[in-house]
Chains A and B, each alone.
Chain A
Amino acid sequence: GEDVEQSLFLSVREGDSSVINCTYTDSSSTYLYWYKQEPGAGLQLLTYIFSNMDMKQDQRLTVLLNKKDKHLSLRIADTQTGDSAIYFCAPGGKLIFGQGTELSVKP
């Protein structure tokens, strides 16, 4: 079946860059999305990338896509404590999510 895999935890220091990785099996999606979930809240759409792009930059966020390897990554520059949350990647054509990556930012 369709699958999305992410590492469960990432811990960084404030001001460092964070890189969250995702692998997926679906290759049919035209768009791939990143969502952020803060404790007790719903998911917030962060950014997306069109499948014919390799990279997209959106302020502190950079999305990299390796379509051949079905690998997606989200880089957060100058990570702040407010970035602490769970991050989910999601192929747009499938309504599936992995377990998400919990990002912990230490001051």
Chain B
Amino acid sequence: DAGVTQSPTHLIKTRGQHVTLRCSPISGHKSVSWYQQVLGQGPQFIFQYYEKEERGRGNFPDRFSARQFPNYSSELNVNALLLGDSALYLCASSLDRGGDYEQYFGPGTRLTVT
């Protein structure tokens, strides 16, 4: 079975531009979460979607948005990019164990903002 896939692998953008990152979960997983990982830090929670509805949101500005599609794949959008948005963006799909989440991560998208 395929694991979590993310595209693109790497991306270089200029300040002020917007970006769309994509994630396909493991087949059968209905929950997708997005994380931002800045170099030297742990992953910071951005969004969680379950059954196409937002279930949780981390402490990120409104420039960050996401959605989940009927096939459970997901997009993360970031508008008006700042240099500080440069990071590894991780997507995780999960089995919902009654409110606990066993997460399976994709390889990430490395975003560089210049």
Task: Give residues in A with beta carbon < 8 Å to B.
Answer: 4, 29-31, 33, 35, 40-45, 48, 88, 90, 92-93, 95-100
Contacts and interface: CB of A to CB of B under 8 A. Distances in A.
Nearest to B103: A45
A96 B43 CA distance: 8
Contacts of B4: 42
Interface centre among A42, A88, A90 (most CB of B within 10 A): A42
A98 B102 CA distance: 17
B103 A33 contact: yes
Nearest to B56: A95
B68 interface: no
A31 B100 contact: yes
Contact of B105 (A40, A44, A96): A44
A43 B103 CA distance: 9
Given A29-B100, A93-B100, A42 B42 contact: no
Contacts of A98: 42
Interface string B44-65: 1100100000001010000000
B38 to A, nearest CB: 11
Interface of B: 4, 33, 35, 40-45, 48, 56, 58, 88, 90, 92, 97-108, 110
A40 B106 CA distance: 12
Contacts of A31: 97, 100, 102
Given A29-B100, A30-B99, A99 B41 contact: yes
19 contacts: A31-B100, A33-B102, A35-B103, A41-B107, A42-B90, A42-B106, A43-B43, A43-B105, A45-B104, A92-B97, A93-B100, A93-B101, A95-B48, A95-B58, A95-B103, A98-B42, A99-B40, A99-B41, A100-B42
Most interface-central of B42, B88, B90, B104 (chain A CB within 10 A): B42
Contact of B42 (A29, A44, A88): A88
Contacts of B56: 95
B2 to A, nearest CB: 14
